[in-house]
Amino acid sequence: MRVTKTTPPNPTDLIDWLNHEGLLELDWDFPEDGDLAAAGLDSMAVMQLVVAVEDCFGLELGPDDLTRANLATPKALAALLAAKMS
């Protein structure tokens, strides 16, 4: 897993990170554009995600960040984190 506080994760690394953090149990071949809600990203997991993102990346995700579009796929979530890190 190559996730660091200083480098935005790519979607593949983000999938590994979601598994490592225990937020979701995604298959190793989960697609970068796979549906995270269908994979189990429910409201409780989103709240855990907010805490994990703050702990790991030092980023705060607010209500405006927690949109369906931003949380739809690993690719969308990675883009959100990259934008917040820049």
Long-range contacts of 39-46 (CB under 8 A, 24+ apart): 41/71, 46/71
Looking at residue 54, what is its pLDDT?
A: 93
Query: Angle 79-7-58 (CA atoms, 0-180°, nearest 5)?
Result: 85
Q: Please, which pLDDT band fits residue 1 given cuts at 50, 70 and 90? A: low
At residue 83, what are phi and psi to the nearest 5 degrees?
Answer: -65, -40
Provide the residue type at 70 as one letter.
N
User: Does residue 8 register a pLDDT over 90?
Assistant: no
Tell which wins on pLDDT, 8 or 5: 8
- For residue range 9-68, list pLDDT tens digits in order: 899 999 999 999 999 999 989 999 999 999 999 999 999 999 999 999 999 999 999 999
Structural domains in the chain, sorted by start? 11-85 (1.10.1200.10)
